[in-house]
Amino acid sequence: MTCCEGWTACNGFSLLVLLLLGVILNAIPLMVNLFDEDEVFQNPISCFERWFPGIVGAGLMAIPATTVSLAARKRACCNNKCGMFLSSLLNVITVIGGGYCLLVSVQALWEGPLICNSQGNSASTCEFSLRNLTVHHQESFSLQWFFNDSCVSPTDLNNPYINGTATHISLHFDSQENKHRIIHFSVFLGLLLVGTLEILFGLSQIVIGFLACLCGGVSKRRRNRIV
């Protein structure tokens, strides 16, 4: 196995771990909502898990490149110009999927969970449009909804901090607000890292596959057998 095939196999294993992690992270808020409400989309933690950034972006879109890259370990492919070119081509899809996961995660961290929305914790306030991912906000990126004492309006009668006794955020599920904030922050921060790493691994494989394609692509061991 040449260094190109070895790096390709390493990329494949890394992408496999990342896509599984992305699917698991995306499923967490959906499963929590199912257990709490007995219905997946009834009062969700946020709108963004329903865009499936981890399941579709970091998950399904990374499967083709992962499969081809792992095949290099057994030298079933990726040992010729066509195989390395295919590896590079499929990783373009991985980069696009990782970019989608990254953008959705940034938007989710920007806006916070639905419980921090003044319109209430209801799926009726969710707006599903890729156009929202490219909207430029005038204010700078901020995580105040997570680090403030409470993100719920003081006029909300259900606000557990209405008496003003809370002085810092409690990293415990002692209220529905804290529970939603911690889950939302943890899930989408994790998906942000998953998307970023998938982009990096995808780009590296595109470069490696392209270089291997230019250099011949056939492993030395197999070339010696042919000679």
The DSSP annotation for 62-118 comes to GHHHHHHHHHTTTTSSSSSHHHHHHHHHHHHHHHHHHHHHHHHHHHHHHH--GGGST
185-211, pLDDT tens digit by residue? Answer: 999 999 999 999 999 999 999 998 888
| Residue 126 burial (CB count, 10 A) | 15
Block residue for tokens 């990782």: 98
Strand ranges (DSSP E) for the chain? none
- Which tokens is 205 given? 């494989």
Distance CA 68, CA 176 (A): 44
Give me the mean pLDDT over the 22-50 stretch: 80
Integer Cα distance of 97 and 78 in angstroms: 22
Reduced to 3 states (helix: H, G, I; strand: E, B; else coil), residue 59 is coil
Rounded Cα distance, 191 and 24, in Å = 10
Q: Which amino acid would we find at residue 48? A: F
Degrees to nearest 5, angle at CA 156 with 124 and 119: 20
Measured in whole angstroms, the distance separating CA 216 from the mean position of its chain's CA atoms is: 35
- pLDDT category of residue 222 using cuts at 50, 70 and 90: very low
Per-residue pLDDT band at 134 (split at 50, 70, 90): low
pLDDT per residue as tens digits for the range 51-107: 899 999 999 999 999 998 888 766 655 556 777 788 889 999 999 999 999 999 998
